[in-house]
Chain A
Amino acid sequence: MQTLTDEQLVERIKVDEVRGFAHLYHRYKHRVYAYCYRLLRHPQNAEDATQETFLKIHRSFQQLENPASLQTWIFSIARNEAFTILRRVKPVEELEKAENEVWEEEGPLERIVERERAEVVQRCLSLLKPAYREVLILREYEHLSYSEIARVTGASESAVKSALFKARKAMGVKLDSMMNERDER
Protein backbone atom coordinates (compact mmCIF):
# COMPACT_ATOMS: atom_id res chain seq x y z
CA MET A 1 0.00 0.00 0.00
CA GLN A 2 2.87 2.37 0.85
CA THR A 3 4.34 1.99 -2.62
CA LEU A 4 1.30 3.32 -4.46
CA THR A 5 2.00 6.20 -6.82
CA ASP A 6 -0.25 9.24 -6.64
CA GLU A 7 -2.07 8.06 -9.77
CA GLN A 8 -2.67 4.64 -8.24
CA LEU A 9 -3.81 6.29 -5.04
CA VAL A 10 -6.42 8.30 -6.92
CA GLU A 11 -7.71 5.08 -8.51
CA ARG A 12 -7.76 3.44 -5.09
CA ILE A 13 -9.89 6.26 -3.70
CA LYS A 14 -12.40 5.73 -6.50
CA VAL A 15 -12.71 2.05 -5.56
CA ASP A 16 -12.40 2.23 -1.78
CA GLU A 17 -13.17 5.75 -0.68
CA VAL A 18 -12.65 5.42 3.06
CA ARG A 19 -9.33 3.56 3.05
CA GLY A 20 -8.07 5.39 0.00
CA PHE A 21 -8.73 8.80 1.51
CA ALA A 22 -7.15 7.76 4.81
CA HIS A 23 -4.06 6.69 2.87
CA LEU A 24 -3.91 10.02 1.05
CA TYR A 25 -4.33 11.86 4.35
CA HIS A 26 -1.50 9.96 6.05
CA ARG A 27 0.75 10.43 3.04
CA TYR A 28 0.32 14.20 2.92
CA LYS A 29 -0.71 15.35 6.41
CA HIS A 30 2.76 16.24 7.71
CA ARG A 31 3.78 17.98 4.49
CA VAL A 32 0.59 20.01 4.31
CA TYR A 33 0.80 20.90 8.00
CA ALA A 34 4.48 21.89 7.72
CA TYR A 35 3.72 24.03 4.67
CA CYS A 36 0.82 25.79 6.43
CA TYR A 37 2.84 26.16 9.63
CA ARG A 38 5.76 27.78 7.85
CA LEU A 39 3.44 30.12 5.98
CA LEU A 40 1.27 31.06 8.93
CA ARG A 41 3.80 30.85 11.79
CA HIS A 42 1.05 29.79 14.15
CA PRO A 43 0.36 26.15 15.25
CA GLN A 44 -3.41 26.47 15.72
CA ASN A 45 -3.89 28.36 12.45
CA ALA A 46 -1.75 25.77 10.68
CA GLU A 47 -3.87 22.97 12.13
CA ASP A 48 -7.08 24.72 11.05
CA ALA A 49 -5.72 25.28 7.54
CA THR A 50 -4.62 21.64 7.29
CA GLN A 51 -7.99 20.37 8.46
CA GLU A 52 -9.82 22.58 5.99
CA THR A 53 -7.45 21.50 3.24
CA PHE A 54 -8.27 17.82 3.69
CA LEU A 55 -11.99 18.40 4.05
CA LYS A 56 -11.89 20.44 0.85
CA ILE A 57 -9.87 17.71 -0.89
CA HIS A 58 -12.56 15.24 0.14
CA ARG A 59 -15.43 17.46 -0.95
CA SER A 60 -13.97 18.41 -4.32
CA PHE A 61 -12.11 15.24 -5.18
CA GLN A 62 -14.08 14.82 -8.39
CA GLN A 63 -12.64 18.12 -9.60
CA LEU A 64 -9.14 16.66 -9.76
CA GLU A 65 -8.68 16.39 -13.51
CA ASN A 66 -5.21 14.91 -13.75
CA PRO A 67 -4.28 12.26 -11.14
CA ALA A 68 -0.58 12.90 -11.88
CA SER A 69 -0.92 16.43 -10.52
CA LEU A 70 -2.37 15.31 -7.18
CA GLN A 71 0.55 16.80 -5.23
CA THR A 72 0.33 20.28 -6.77
CA TRP A 73 -3.47 20.19 -6.48
CA ILE A 74 -3.20 19.46 -2.75
CA PHE A 75 -0.66 22.22 -2.21
CA SER A 76 -2.73 24.72 -4.17
CA ILE A 77 -5.70 23.97 -1.90
CA ALA A 78 -3.49 24.25 1.18
CA ARG A 79 -2.15 27.55 -0.13
CA ASN A 80 -5.67 28.94 -0.57
CA GLU A 81 -6.61 27.88 2.95
CA ALA A 82 -3.45 29.36 4.44
CA PHE A 83 -3.88 32.64 2.57
CA THR A 84 -7.53 32.83 3.65
CA ILE A 85 -6.32 32.70 7.24
CA LEU A 86 -3.48 35.14 6.51
CA ARG A 87 -6.01 37.61 5.09
CA ARG A 88 -8.13 37.21 8.18
CA VAL A 89 -5.11 38.02 10.31
CA LYS A 90 -3.84 40.80 8.06
CA PRO A 91 -5.93 42.84 5.63
CA VAL A 92 -5.43 42.27 1.89
CA GLU A 93 -3.91 45.73 1.32
CA GLU A 94 -1.23 44.98 3.83
CA LEU A 95 -0.38 41.69 2.15
CA GLU A 96 -0.30 43.09 -1.37
CA LYS A 97 1.16 46.56 -0.93
CA ALA A 98 4.72 47.28 -2.04
CA GLU A 99 5.10 44.40 -4.49
CA ASN A 100 8.86 44.85 -4.63
CA GLU A 101 9.32 44.80 -0.89
CA VAL A 102 10.74 41.49 0.27
CA TRP A 103 10.35 41.86 4.02
CA GLU A 104 7.32 42.18 6.20
CA GLU A 105 7.30 44.79 8.91
CA GLU A 106 9.08 43.63 12.00
CA GLY A 107 7.18 44.16 15.22
CA PRO A 108 8.82 44.43 18.63
CA LEU A 109 7.92 40.82 19.42
CA GLU A 110 9.46 39.60 16.20
CA ARG A 111 12.93 40.93 16.99
CA ILE A 112 15.56 38.29 16.97
CA VAL A 113 16.37 36.84 20.34
CA GLU A 114 17.25 33.30 19.33
CA ARG A 115 20.79 32.05 19.55
CA GLU A 116 20.84 28.98 17.31
CA ARG A 117 21.43 29.43 13.61
CA ALA A 118 18.51 27.15 12.74
CA GLU A 119 16.21 29.37 14.75
CA VAL A 120 17.66 32.46 13.13
CA VAL A 121 17.02 30.96 9.68
CA GLN A 122 13.46 30.09 10.69
CA ARG A 123 12.84 33.56 12.07
CA CYS A 124 14.37 35.12 9.00
CA LEU A 125 12.08 33.04 6.77
CA SER A 126 9.08 34.02 8.82
CA LEU A 127 9.90 37.70 8.27
CA LEU A 128 9.79 37.36 4.49
CA LYS A 129 6.67 38.59 2.74
CA PRO A 130 4.26 35.67 2.13
CA ALA A 131 4.77 35.74 -1.66
CA TYR A 132 8.51 35.14 -1.21
CA ARG A 133 8.13 32.89 1.79
CA GLU A 134 5.84 30.48 -0.04
CA VAL A 135 8.11 29.93 -3.06
CA LEU A 136 11.06 29.31 -0.78
CA ILE A 137 9.07 26.83 1.33
CA LEU A 138 7.76 24.97 -1.73
CA ARG A 139 11.25 24.75 -3.21
CA GLU A 140 13.46 24.13 -0.17
CA TYR A 141 11.17 21.99 1.96
CA GLU A 142 8.75 20.42 -0.50
CA HIS A 143 11.28 20.12 -3.35
CA LEU A 144 8.75 21.16 -5.99
CA SER A 145 10.04 22.09 -9.45
CA TYR A 146 9.52 25.58 -10.87
CA SER A 147 6.64 24.37 -13.03
CA GLU A 148 4.99 22.70 -10.04
CA ILE A 149 5.43 25.84 -7.90
CA ALA A 150 3.93 27.83 -10.76
CA ARG A 151 0.91 25.52 -10.79
CA VAL A 152 0.46 25.83 -7.03
CA THR A 153 0.81 29.61 -6.89
CA GLY A 154 -0.78 30.46 -10.22
CA ALA A 155 2.31 32.44 -11.26
CA SER A 156 4.50 31.99 -14.33
CA GLU A 157 7.71 29.94 -14.16
CA SER A 158 9.83 33.03 -14.79
CA ALA A 159 8.05 34.81 -11.93
CA VAL A 160 8.83 31.83 -9.69
CA LYS A 161 12.48 31.90 -10.76
CA SER A 162 12.71 35.62 -10.06
CA ALA A 163 10.92 35.37 -6.70
CA LEU A 164 13.22 32.57 -5.57
CA PHE A 165 16.27 34.57 -6.52
CA LYS A 166 15.05 37.69 -4.67
CA ALA A 167 14.03 35.68 -1.63
CA ARG A 168 17.38 33.88 -1.42
CA LYS A 169 19.35 37.03 -1.90
CA ALA A 170 17.39 38.85 0.79
CA MET A 171 17.67 35.86 3.12
CA GLY A 172 21.43 35.68 2.62
CA VAL A 173 21.94 39.35 3.45
CA LYS A 174 19.59 39.29 6.42
CA LEU A 175 21.11 36.09 7.81
CA ASP A 176 24.63 37.50 7.60
CA SER A 177 23.64 40.65 9.46
CA MET A 178 21.70 38.70 12.10
CA MET A 179 24.54 36.26 12.67
CA ASN A 180 27.03 39.13 12.95
CA GLU A 181 24.71 40.88 15.39
CA ARG A 182 24.47 37.69 17.42
CA ASP A 183 28.24 37.19 17.45
CA GLU A 184 28.80 40.75 18.64
CA ARG A 185 26.54 40.31 21.67
Chain B
Amino acid sequence: MLFNSLTFLFLHFLFLPLYWSTKNQTVRLYVLLLSSVIFYGWYYWPGLFLLFAAMCINYLLSLLISKKQAKWTIALAVLLNLLNLGWFKYSIFIIANIESLINNMGFQLIIPKPDYWLPIGISFYTFQIMGYLIDVYRKEVPAEKSFLRFAVFKSFYAQLIAGPIVRSHELFPQLRKTAVFNLTRFQKGFFLMTAGLAIKICIADLLAQFVEYGFSNAGKIETLRAWLTLYSFSFQILSDFWGYSTVAVGIGLMYGISLPHNFNFPYTAQSSQDFWRRWHITLSEWFRDYLYIPLGGNKNRKYLNLILTMTIAGVWHGAGWNFLLWGFGHGIWLAIERVTQSHKIRNNSPLMRRIRIIVVFNIVSLLWIFFRAPDLNTAALFFKNLFAPPYVFNAPHIESLLLTLIIFILFNKKLGNLFYADHFSRLSLKRQLFVTIFLILFIMGYADARLDFIYFVF
Protein backbone atom coordinates (compact mmCIF):
# COMPACT_ATOMS: atom_id res chain seq x y z
CA MET B 1 0.00 0.00 0.00
CA LEU B 2 1.30 3.43 -0.84
CA PHE B 3 1.40 6.31 1.61
CA ASN B 4 -0.13 8.52 -1.07
CA SER B 5 -3.24 6.37 -1.52
CA LEU B 6 -6.70 6.89 -0.11
CA THR B 7 -6.76 3.30 1.10
CA PHE B 8 -3.71 3.93 3.22
CA LEU B 9 -5.12 7.12 4.73
CA PHE B 10 -8.40 5.37 5.45
CA LEU B 11 -6.73 2.42 7.21
CA HIS B 12 -4.24 4.62 9.04
CA PHE B 13 -6.99 6.73 10.56
CA LEU B 14 -8.91 3.55 11.38
CA PHE B 15 -6.06 1.91 13.28
CA LEU B 16 -4.94 5.06 15.03
CA PRO B 17 -7.96 5.37 17.39
CA LEU B 18 -7.84 1.61 17.93
CA TYR B 19 -4.24 1.93 19.08
CA TRP B 20 -4.90 4.79 21.47
CA SER B 21 -8.17 3.33 22.76
CA THR B 22 -6.28 0.89 24.97
CA LYS B 23 -3.54 1.34 27.53
CA ASN B 24 -2.51 -2.28 27.25
CA GLN B 25 0.83 -2.30 25.42
CA THR B 26 0.41 -5.87 24.19
CA VAL B 27 -2.90 -5.01 22.55
CA ARG B 28 -1.31 -1.93 21.03
CA LEU B 29 1.50 -4.04 19.60
CA TYR B 30 -1.08 -6.40 18.09
CA VAL B 31 -2.79 -3.40 16.49
CA LEU B 32 0.52 -2.25 15.04
CA LEU B 33 1.33 -5.73 13.79
CA LEU B 34 -2.08 -6.23 12.21
CA SER B 35 -2.01 -2.85 10.51
CA SER B 36 1.53 -3.54 9.26
CA VAL B 37 0.51 -6.93 7.88
CA ILE B 38 -2.41 -5.37 6.00
CA PHE B 39 -0.20 -2.52 4.81
CA TYR B 40 2.47 -4.87 3.46
CA GLY B 41 0.18 -7.58 2.14
CA TRP B 42 -2.05 -5.13 0.29
CA TYR B 43 0.55 -4.59 -2.39
CA TYR B 44 1.30 -8.28 -2.99
CA TRP B 45 0.06 -10.66 -0.32
CA PRO B 46 2.41 -13.62 -1.01
CA GLY B 47 5.21 -11.30 0.14
CA LEU B 48 3.85 -11.78 3.65
CA PHE B 49 5.09 -15.37 3.70
CA LEU B 50 8.64 -14.27 3.05
CA LEU B 51 8.36 -11.49 5.61
CA PHE B 52 6.98 -13.91 8.20
CA ALA B 53 9.67 -16.51 7.45
CA ALA B 54 12.38 -13.86 7.75
CA MET B 55 10.83 -12.73 11.04
CA CYS B 56 10.83 -16.23 12.56
CA ILE B 57 14.32 -17.18 11.38
CA ASN B 58 15.87 -13.90 12.51
CA TYR B 59 14.11 -14.06 15.85
CA LEU B 60 15.57 -17.51 16.49
CA LEU B 61 18.97 -16.39 15.19
CA SER B 62 19.01 -13.41 17.55
CA LEU B 63 18.33 -15.70 20.51
CA LEU B 64 21.04 -18.09 19.32
CA ILE B 65 23.57 -15.27 18.88
CA SER B 66 22.74 -13.92 22.31
CA LYS B 67 23.15 -17.35 23.90
CA LYS B 68 26.29 -18.58 22.11
CA GLN B 69 28.07 -15.28 21.36
CA ALA B 70 30.09 -17.21 18.80
CA LYS B 71 31.41 -15.87 15.51
CA TRP B 72 29.79 -18.66 13.52
CA THR B 73 26.34 -17.64 14.75
CA ILE B 74 26.62 -14.07 13.49
CA ALA B 75 28.32 -15.31 10.31
CA LEU B 76 25.42 -17.70 9.74
CA ALA B 77 22.86 -14.97 10.43
CA VAL B 78 24.48 -12.47 8.06
CA LEU B 79 24.96 -15.15 5.41
CA LEU B 80 21.31 -16.26 5.55
CA ASN B 81 20.07 -12.69 5.27
CA LEU B 82 22.42 -11.90 2.42
CA LEU B 83 21.38 -15.09 0.63
CA ASN B 84 17.75 -14.12 0.98
CA LEU B 85 18.46 -10.63 -0.36
CA GLY B 86 20.79 -11.96 -3.05
CA TRP B 87 18.33 -14.57 -4.30
CA PHE B 88 15.41 -12.22 -4.62
CA LYS B 89 17.24 -9.11 -5.72
CA TYR B 90 20.40 -10.07 -7.56
CA SER B 91 20.10 -13.62 -8.93
CA ILE B 92 18.62 -12.64 -12.29
CA PHE B 93 21.25 -9.93 -12.73
CA ILE B 94 24.07 -12.31 -11.85
CA ILE B 95 22.75 -15.11 -14.08
CA ALA B 96 22.24 -12.71 -17.00
CA ASN B 97 25.81 -11.46 -16.68
CA ILE B 98 27.30 -14.95 -16.43
CA GLU B 99 25.27 -15.98 -19.46
CA SER B 100 26.37 -12.95 -21.43
CA LEU B 101 30.04 -13.48 -20.46
CA ILE B 102 30.00 -17.13 -21.53
CA ASN B 103 28.18 -16.30 -24.76
CA ASN B 104 30.75 -13.61 -25.51
CA MET B 105 33.47 -16.24 -25.14
CA GLY B 106 31.88 -18.12 -28.00
CA PHE B 107 29.91 -20.75 -26.08
CA GLN B 108 26.17 -21.06 -26.35
CA LEU B 109 24.55 -21.14 -22.93
CA ILE B 110 21.05 -20.43 -21.75
CA ILE B 111 20.60 -20.58 -17.99
CA PRO B 112 16.96 -20.84 -16.88
CA LYS B 113 16.08 -17.81 -14.80
CA PRO B 114 13.94 -18.14 -11.70
CA ASP B 115 10.47 -16.72 -12.07
CA TYR B 116 9.65 -14.70 -8.98
CA TRP B 117 8.89 -11.21 -7.83
CA LEU B 118 11.01 -8.64 -6.01
CA PRO B 119 9.57 -8.36 -2.49
CA ILE B 120 9.10 -4.66 -1.77
CA GLY B 121 11.30 -3.15 0.88
CA ILE B 122 13.49 -6.28 1.11
CA SER B 123 16.73 -4.26 1.15
CA PHE B 124 15.43 -2.04 3.94
CA TYR B 125 14.12 -4.69 6.27
CA THR B 126 17.08 -7.01 5.64
CA PHE B 127 19.55 -4.28 6.56
CA GLN B 128 17.54 -3.27 9.59
CA ILE B 129 17.50 -6.81 10.90
CA MET B 130 21.18 -7.43 10.08
CA GLY B 131 22.06 -4.32 12.05
CA TYR B 132 20.07 -5.64 14.98
CA LEU B 133 21.74 -9.07 14.85
CA ILE B 134 25.19 -7.47 14.75
CA ASP B 135 24.24 -5.24 17.70
CA VAL B 136 23.15 -8.33 19.64
CA TYR B 137 26.43 -10.04 18.79
CA ARG B 138 28.38 -6.97 19.88
CA LYS B 139 26.30 -6.96 23.08
CA GLU B 140 25.19 -3.41 22.33
CA VAL B 141 21.56 -4.43 22.76
CA PRO B 142 20.01 -7.46 24.45
CA ALA B 143 18.20 -9.98 22.26
CA GLU B 144 14.48 -9.30 22.29
CA LYS B 145 12.62 -12.11 24.04
CA SER B 146 9.10 -11.17 22.95
CA PHE B 147 8.32 -12.38 19.45
CA LEU B 148 5.45 -9.90 19.19
CA ARG B 149 7.72 -6.96 19.91
CA PHE B 150 10.35 -8.34 17.54
CA ALA B 151 7.71 -8.73 14.82
CA VAL B 152 6.58 -5.11 15.25
CA PHE B 153 10.21 -3.94 15.20
CA LYS B 154 10.69 -5.65 11.87
CA SER B 155 7.37 -4.80 10.29
CA PHE B 156 6.15 -1.43 11.67
CA TYR B 157 4.50 -0.02 8.58
CA ALA B 158 5.81 3.50 8.96
CA GLN B 159 9.32 2.33 8.13
CA LEU B 160 8.96 -1.15 6.66
CA ILE B 161 9.19 -0.43 2.97
CA ALA B 162 11.53 2.49 2.46
CA GLY B 163 13.00 3.28 5.82
CA PRO B 164 14.24 5.14 7.71
CA ILE B 165 16.38 2.17 8.76
CA VAL B 166 15.64 2.35 12.46
CA ARG B 167 18.22 0.93 14.85
CA SER B 168 17.14 -1.54 17.49
CA HIS B 169 18.30 0.69 20.36
CA GLU B 170 16.04 3.43 18.99
CA LEU B 171 12.86 1.43 18.47
CA PHE B 172 12.79 -1.40 21.04
CA PRO B 173 12.72 0.86 24.12
CA GLN B 174 9.77 2.73 22.62
CA LEU B 175 7.92 -0.52 21.93
CA ARG B 176 8.49 -1.72 25.51
CA LYS B 177 7.00 1.22 27.34
CA THR B 178 3.36 2.22 27.15
CA ALA B 179 3.30 5.62 25.46
CA VAL B 180 1.07 8.33 26.88
CA PHE B 181 -0.98 10.20 24.28
CA ASN B 182 0.70 13.52 23.69
CA LEU B 183 -1.26 16.11 21.73
CA THR B 184 1.84 18.06 20.67
CA ARG B 185 3.45 14.97 19.18
CA PHE B 186 0.21 13.98 17.53
CA GLN B 187 -0.15 17.39 15.96
CA LYS B 188 3.46 17.34 14.84
CA GLY B 189 2.94 13.88 13.38
CA PHE B 190 -0.16 15.03 11.54
CA PHE B 191 1.69 18.01 10.13
CA LEU B 192 4.70 15.94 9.05
CA MET B 193 2.44 13.45 7.33
CA THR B 194 0.66 16.25 5.48
CA ALA B 195 3.89 18.01 4.54
CA GLY B 196 5.55 14.79 3.37
CA LEU B 197 2.60 13.96 1.16
CA ALA B 198 2.59 17.49 -0.23
CA ILE B 199 6.26 17.28 -1.16
CA LYS B 200 5.72 13.93 -2.83
CA ILE B 201 2.52 14.78 -4.69
CA CYS B 202 3.07 18.41 -5.56
CA ILE B 203 6.77 18.38 -6.32
CA ALA B 204 8.11 14.88 -6.96
CA ASP B 205 5.20 13.69 -9.07
CA LEU B 206 5.13 16.88 -11.13
CA LEU B 207 8.85 16.77 -11.80
CA ALA B 208 8.58 13.05 -12.59
CA GLN B 209 6.66 13.81 -15.78
CA PHE B 210 9.46 15.99 -17.15
CA VAL B 211 12.16 13.61 -16.00
CA GLU B 212 10.43 10.67 -17.63
CA TYR B 213 10.22 12.54 -20.92
CA GLY B 214 13.88 13.58 -20.73
CA PHE B 215 15.25 10.13 -20.01
CA SER B 216 12.99 8.28 -22.40
CA ASN B 217 14.14 10.65 -25.15
CA ALA B 218 17.81 10.61 -24.20
CA GLY B 219 19.88 11.31 -27.28
CA LYS B 220 17.19 13.46 -28.85
CA ILE B 221 16.53 16.25 -26.37
CA GLU B 222 18.04 19.72 -26.52
CA THR B 223 20.92 20.84 -24.28
CA LEU B 224 18.78 23.10 -22.11
CA ARG B 225 16.12 20.47 -21.64
CA ALA B 226 18.78 17.89 -20.73
CA TRP B 227 20.19 20.11 -17.99
CA LEU B 228 16.71 20.91 -16.71
CA THR B 229 15.81 17.22 -16.74
CA LEU B 230 18.95 16.49 -14.75
CA TYR B 231 18.21 19.14 -12.12
CA SER B 232 14.59 18.07 -12.08
CA PHE B 233 15.61 14.53 -11.26
CA SER B 234 17.89 15.78 -8.48
CA PHE B 235 14.92 17.52 -6.91
CA GLN B 236 12.48 14.77 -7.80
CA ILE B 237 14.45 12.09 -5.99
CA LEU B 238 15.00 14.40 -3.04
CA SER B 239 11.35 15.34 -2.71
CA ASP B 240 10.17 11.81 -3.39
CA PHE B 241 12.33 10.19 -0.73
CA TRP B 242 12.30 13.14 1.66
CA GLY B 243 8.51 13.18 1.34
CA TYR B 244 8.31 9.46 2.09
CA SER B 245 10.64 9.69 5.09
CA THR B 246 8.75 12.68 6.44
CA VAL B 247 5.44 10.83 6.19
CA ALA B 248 7.10 7.89 7.99
CA VAL B 249 8.30 10.10 10.84
CA GLY B 250 4.85 11.67 11.01
CA ILE B 251 3.07 8.32 11.18
CA GLY B 252 5.44 7.22 13.92
CA LEU B 253 4.75 10.34 15.97
CA MET B 254 1.01 9.87 15.65
CA TYR B 255 1.55 6.50 17.35
CA GLY B 256 3.82 8.15 19.90
CA ILE B 257 6.90 6.57 18.34
CA SER B 258 9.89 8.69 17.31
CA LEU B 259 11.69 7.68 14.14
CA PRO B 260 14.89 9.35 12.98
CA HIS B 261 14.89 11.95 10.22
CA ASN B 262 16.57 10.76 7.04
CA PHE B 263 17.43 14.08 5.38
CA ASN B 264 19.13 17.25 6.42
CA PHE B 265 19.12 19.66 3.45
CA PRO B 266 21.48 17.47 1.42
CA TYR B 267 21.80 19.92 -1.46
CA THR B 268 23.42 22.44 0.83
CA ALA B 269 26.33 20.03 1.39
CA GLN B 270 29.80 21.47 0.88
CA SER B 271 31.60 18.22 0.21
CA SER B 272 30.85 14.63 -0.70
CA GLN B 273 31.37 13.58 2.91
CA ASP B 274 28.99 16.33 4.01
CA PHE B 275 26.46 15.17 1.41
CA TRP B 276 26.41 11.62 2.78
CA ARG B 277 25.90 12.97 6.29
CA ARG B 278 22.78 14.73 5.04
CA TRP B 279 21.34 12.30 2.46
CA HIS B 280 19.60 9.09 3.53
CA ILE B 281 21.25 9.51 6.90
CA THR B 282 20.12 6.19 8.37
CA LEU B 283 21.57 4.21 5.45
CA SER B 284 24.84 6.15 5.50
CA GLU B 285 25.17 5.47 9.23
CA TRP B 286 24.38 1.81 8.67
CA PHE B 287 27.13 1.45 6.09
CA ARG B 288 29.53 3.39 8.28
CA ASP B 289 28.89 1.29 11.40
CA TYR B 290 28.42 -2.15 9.90
CA LEU B 291 30.69 -2.10 6.84
CA TYR B 292 33.13 0.79 6.63
CA ILE B 293 34.44 0.61 10.21
CA PRO B 294 34.65 -3.23 10.28
CA LEU B 295 36.59 -3.06 6.99
CA GLY B 296 39.18 -0.93 8.75
CA GLY B 297 37.57 2.50 8.53
CA ASN B 298 40.07 5.35 8.47
CA LYS B 299 42.84 3.22 9.93
CA ASN B 300 43.71 0.70 7.22
CA ARG B 301 43.27 1.09 3.46
CA LYS B 302 40.83 3.93 3.99
CA TYR B 303 40.58 4.90 0.31
CA LEU B 304 39.85 1.34 -0.73
CA ASN B 305 37.35 1.01 2.12
CA LEU B 306 35.55 4.13 0.99
CA ILE B 307 35.32 2.98 -2.62
CA LEU B 308 34.25 -0.53 -1.61
CA THR B 309 31.63 0.70 0.86
CA MET B 310 30.11 3.14 -1.61
CA THR B 311 30.13 0.61 -4.44
CA ILE B 312 28.25 -1.86 -2.24
CA ALA B 313 25.89 0.96 -1.22
CA GLY B 314 25.29 1.53 -4.93
CA VAL B 315 24.49 -2.12 -5.56
CA TRP B 316 22.24 -2.11 -2.48
CA HIS B 317 20.00 0.29 -4.38
CA GLY B 318 19.49 -2.01 -7.32
CA ALA B 319 20.82 -4.91 -9.35
CA GLY B 320 22.46 -3.22 -12.29
CA TRP B 321 25.77 -1.90 -13.57
CA ASN B 322 24.39 1.62 -13.48
CA PHE B 323 23.84 1.43 -9.69
CA LEU B 324 27.28 -0.07 -9.27
CA LEU B 325 28.82 2.77 -11.25
CA TRP B 326 26.83 5.33 -9.29
CA GLY B 327 28.15 3.98 -5.99
CA PHE B 328 31.66 3.59 -7.40
CA GLY B 329 31.56 7.20 -8.61
CA HIS B 330 30.66 8.41 -5.14
CA GLY B 331 33.38 6.21 -3.64
CA ILE B 332 36.02 7.65 -5.96
CA TRP B 333 34.83 11.18 -5.20
CA LEU B 334 35.04 10.54 -1.44
CA ALA B 335 38.51 9.07 -1.85
CA ILE B 336 39.69 12.04 -3.94
CA GLU B 337 38.35 14.38 -1.28
CA ARG B 338 40.35 12.55 1.37
CA VAL B 339 43.51 12.56 -0.72
CA THR B 340 43.23 16.26 -1.47
CA GLN B 341 41.85 17.05 1.98
CA SER B 342 39.19 19.13 0.22
CA HIS B 343 36.47 17.96 2.59
CA LYS B 344 38.09 20.06 5.28
CA ILE B 345 36.69 23.53 4.95
CA ARG B 346 39.38 26.18 5.30
CA ASN B 347 37.84 29.22 3.65
CA ASN B 348 34.32 29.61 5.01
CA SER B 349 33.43 32.91 3.38
CA PRO B 350 29.84 33.12 2.09
CA LEU B 351 31.06 33.22 -1.50
CA MET B 352 33.26 30.13 -1.15
CA ARG B 353 30.49 28.34 0.69
CA ARG B 354 28.08 29.00 -2.15
CA ILE B 355 30.60 27.94 -4.75
CA ARG B 356 31.23 24.68 -2.89
CA ILE B 357 27.47 24.03 -2.61
CA ILE B 358 26.99 24.58 -6.35
CA VAL B 359 29.94 22.36 -7.26
CA VAL B 360 28.81 19.55 -4.94
CA PHE B 361 25.22 19.79 -6.15
CA ASN B 362 26.34 19.53 -9.76
CA ILE B 363 28.58 16.53 -9.16
CA VAL B 364 25.79 14.81 -7.22
CA SER B 365 23.37 15.60 -10.05
CA LEU B 366 25.69 14.25 -12.72
CA LEU B 367 26.12 11.04 -10.76
CA TRP B 368 22.34 10.72 -10.50
CA ILE B 369 22.33 10.01 -14.25
CA PHE B 370 23.62 6.50 -13.55
CA PHE B 371 20.97 6.10 -10.89
CA ARG B 372 18.06 7.21 -13.07
CA ALA B 373 19.01 5.88 -16.50
CA PRO B 374 17.56 2.42 -17.11
CA ASP B 375 20.87 1.23 -18.58
CA LEU B 376 24.37 2.41 -19.35
CA ASN B 377 23.56 3.21 -22.99
CA THR B 378 20.87 5.66 -21.93
CA ALA B 379 23.25 7.17 -19.39
CA ALA B 380 25.87 7.66 -22.10
CA LEU B 381 23.31 9.27 -24.41
CA PHE B 382 22.22 11.57 -21.64
CA PHE B 383 25.79 12.69 -20.98
CA LYS B 384 26.06 13.38 -24.70
CA ASN B 385 22.93 15.57 -24.52
CA LEU B 386 24.51 17.57 -21.73
CA PHE B 387 27.98 18.09 -23.06
CA ALA B 388 28.20 17.34 -26.77
CA PRO B 389 27.29 19.81 -29.54
CA PRO B 390 24.95 21.03 -30.96
CA TYR B 391 24.12 23.24 -28.00
CA VAL B 392 20.44 24.16 -28.19
CA PHE B 393 19.01 26.39 -25.51
CA ASN B 394 15.45 27.03 -26.65
CA ALA B 395 13.68 23.88 -25.55
CA PRO B 396 9.90 24.30 -25.84
CA HIS B 397 7.37 23.52 -23.11
CA ILE B 398 9.68 24.23 -20.21
CA GLU B 399 7.83 27.03 -18.45
CA SER B 400 6.00 24.86 -15.95
CA LEU B 401 9.10 22.78 -15.27
CA LEU B 402 11.07 25.91 -14.50
CA LEU B 403 8.26 27.23 -12.35
CA THR B 404 8.03 24.02 -10.33
CA LEU B 405 11.77 23.96 -9.78
CA ILE B 406 11.89 27.58 -8.71
CA ILE B 407 8.96 27.20 -6.33
CA PHE B 408 10.52 24.14 -4.76
CA ILE B 409 13.93 25.73 -4.38
CA LEU B 410 12.35 28.81 -2.82
CA PHE B 411 10.15 26.98 -0.39
CA ASN B 412 12.06 23.84 0.50
CA LYS B 413 14.24 25.58 3.09
CA LYS B 414 11.29 27.23 4.82
CA LEU B 415 9.18 24.09 4.70
CA GLY B 416 12.08 21.86 5.68
CA ASN B 417 12.82 23.96 8.73
CA LEU B 418 9.33 23.21 9.99
CA PHE B 419 10.10 19.48 9.99
CA TYR B 420 12.77 19.63 12.61
CA ALA B 421 12.75 20.23 16.34
CA ASP B 422 9.86 22.36 17.56
CA HIS B 423 9.73 24.85 14.70
CA PHE B 424 6.16 23.99 13.82
CA SER B 425 4.90 23.98 17.41
CA ARG B 426 6.44 27.38 17.96
CA LEU B 427 4.49 28.97 15.12
CA SER B 428 1.43 31.01 15.99
CA LEU B 429 -1.92 29.25 15.61
CA LYS B 430 -2.71 31.36 12.54
CA ARG B 431 0.51 30.37 10.82
CA GLN B 432 0.11 26.72 11.75
CA LEU B 433 -3.34 26.74 10.23
CA PHE B 434 -2.22 28.65 7.16
CA VAL B 435 0.65 26.28 6.41
CA THR B 436 -1.40 23.13 6.99
CA ILE B 437 -4.41 24.33 4.99
CA PHE B 438 -2.14 25.42 2.16
CA LEU B 439 -0.50 21.99 2.05
CA ILE B 440 -3.77 20.07 2.24
CA LEU B 441 -5.29 22.14 -0.56
CA PHE B 442 -2.21 21.45 -2.64
CA ILE B 443 -2.45 17.74 -2.00
CA MET B 444 -6.11 17.68 -2.93
CA GLY B 445 -5.58 19.70 -6.08
CA TYR B 446 -2.58 17.78 -7.37
CA ALA B 447 -3.29 14.25 -6.19
CA ASP B 448 -4.10 13.07 -9.72
CA ALA B 449 -0.92 11.61 -11.04
CA ARG B 450 -0.31 9.16 -8.20
CA LEU B 451 3.08 7.61 -8.79
CA ASP B 452 5.01 5.05 -6.80
CA PHE B 453 7.76 6.23 -4.51
CA ILE B 454 11.17 5.75 -6.16
CA TYR B 455 12.63 3.95 -3.14
CA PHE B 456 9.63 1.63 -3.00
CA VAL B 457 11.45 -0.91 -5.17
CA PHE B 458 14.71 -1.01 -3.22
Verify that A and B bind, or say they do not: no
Could you tell me which A residues sit within 8 Å of B by CB distance?
none
